[in-house]
Homo-oligomer: A and B are copies of this chain.
Amino acid sequence: MTVNGTKHNELRQLVRSQLELLLESSNLEGAKALLVPVQPVDIAEAIEGLPESMQVIAFRLLSKAEAIEVYEYLDYSVQEALIEEFKRQEVIDIVDKMSPDDRAKLFDELPAKIVRRLLSQLSPKERQATAQLLGYEEDTAGRIMTPEYISLKESLTVDETLERIRSLANASEIIYYLYVTDASRHLTGIVSLRDLVVSPSQTTLGEIMTRDVVFVHTNTDQEEVAKTIQRYDLLAIPVVDREDRLVGVVTVDDVIDIIEQEATEDIYALGGLQSDKDNYFQTSLVTVARRRVVWLFVLLLTNTVTGTIISSQKNLLQEVVILTAFIPLLTGTGGNVGAQSSTVVIRGLNTEEINDLGTGKVVFREALAGILLGSILGIMATVWAFWLQGNIYVALSVGISLVAIALLASVAGSALPFLFRSFGLDPALMSAPFITTAVDVLGVLIYFNIARFILGI
């Protein structure tokens, strides 16, 4: 079955509902036939959608090779459930054949007891590969790499290499790049399968390899790995250890997931949320509340400061009660201007678009934008305030405050992410909710002082 990308959602849903119907009527042959032309990732999704009791039955319909591929795509919870349902030997067969990086990810999620049991039953080679990956810190190149790659000596000819590949190919997740190493396993060059195929058969790898190799270390942060692959348009990047010996490869498909995950982290930070690698919609309500309440509490505290400032101006407000009507407009607009500036700067820092401009230049530019926007909006606000109230002094206080607040908000919004970064913190922490709340506090202070001055109170 060819799958048209635009229609794959509907197709997937069709496979899912059909599969359940066939299994309910115990038509196992029909179910088997249904799944034959379906892509592994889609089979995995269809199985996830089944009632738990049917998941094992559906999974057993697959051929062994297919089962391994599908298993890698399943959610951790389903992977774990299947492990418990399976006979010992079935589990080991599948887990033993998974790619080491996918297996390490699975082991991260499984209870320690099961991991120990599985590890002890893997073949020695696979056990060693997995233990090695699990030894690297989370979110590093070492943890996400696969230790399966093809490394060759540079004296090999093209023909000999092709021979080797034929005997090895099944063991290796990616063979689009071949790595050339010296006697002490140091990476000395790289040959793409493409270069290999187009070269005369007696040429040696040493003659056709590229010596300008881009690589990362096992302890390189995964975000850095992703950026490097993206920058150099690679399909995979070699990973070396502290002694510069080749130990693994990170492939582009894993990198795409990392880029999406990092973007989610940024987006969550901008929304005032702690992020986590779990699917948000599968975590418990208590976890959700716990992750949010800390941030809300910090913002609540800042808001109490605003309240305290307002309550300290009781006399002013009793005299000119209409002043309160404009507080939400001023703090709200200030917050929005600040959120815009901080969003632009945070994203710019994280995608490295901003790198070449200095802090000063960026903040100055945002300050100008703040004054410009503040002036436009200030004029509108003055007109509206005058229409609502008929008091030109109050209206002017509102308009002038708005310009000052917009300037303050854009400077704070653009400067604070830089400040955070210079302390080695994630600039996204200095995000919209925080800026908004900070601008509230300073905004009312500015407003009351300008109003007192203009109204002469």
Contact = CB atoms under 8 A, between A and B. Distances in A.
B322 A314 contact: yes
B272 A340 contact: yes
Interface in A218-251: 220, 224-225, 227-235, 237
B296 A8 contact: no
B271 A311 contact: no
Interface of A: 1-6, 8-9, 37-39, 41, 49, 162, 165-166, 169, 175-176, 187, 193-194, 197-198, 211-217, 220, 224-225, 227-235, 237, 252-253, 255-257, 259-260, 263-264, 266-268, 270-273, 279-281, 285, 288-289, 292-293, 295-297, 299-300, 303-304, 306-308, 310-311, 314, 317-318, 321-322, 324-329, 331-333, 335-337, 339-340, 342-344, 346-348, 351, 353-357, 362, 365, 368-369, 372-373, 376-377, 380-381, 384, 388-389, 432-433, 436-437, 440, 444
A339 B434 CA distance: 12
Contact of A436 (B175, B332, B368): B332
Nearest to A226: B256
Contacts of A237: 5
Which of A38, A39, A325 has the most chain B CB atoms inside 10 A of its CB? A325
7 contacts: A5-B214, A267-B347, A271-B340, A281-B362, A292-B369, A293-B377, A295-B340
A433 B326 CA distance: 18
A270 B268 contact: no
A279 to B, nearest CB: 5
A231 B41 contact: yes
A271 B264 CA distance: 14
Contacts of A353: 279-281
A340 B300 contact: no
Contacts of A342: 271
B39 A232 contact: yes
A37 B331 CA distance: 54
Contacts of A327: 310, 324, 327-328
Contacts of A231: 8, 41
B166 A198 contact: yes
B3 A214 contact: yes
Contacts of A165: 197-198
A49 to B, nearest CB: 7
Given A235-B235, A296-B337, A5 B307 contact: no
A292 B169 CA distance: 54
A336 B373 contact: no
B333 A299 contact: yes
Contact of A285 (B227, B362, B368): B368
A217 B4 contact: yes
Contacts of A2: 187, 211-215
Contacts of A289: 369, 372-373, 376
Contact of A212 (B1, B197, B266, B368): B1
Contacts of A368: 285
A377 B296 contact: yes
A253 B267 contact: no
B197 A162 contact: yes
Contacts of A300: 329, 332-333, 377, 380-381
B388 A343 contact: no
Contacts of A229: 256
B5 A296 contact: no
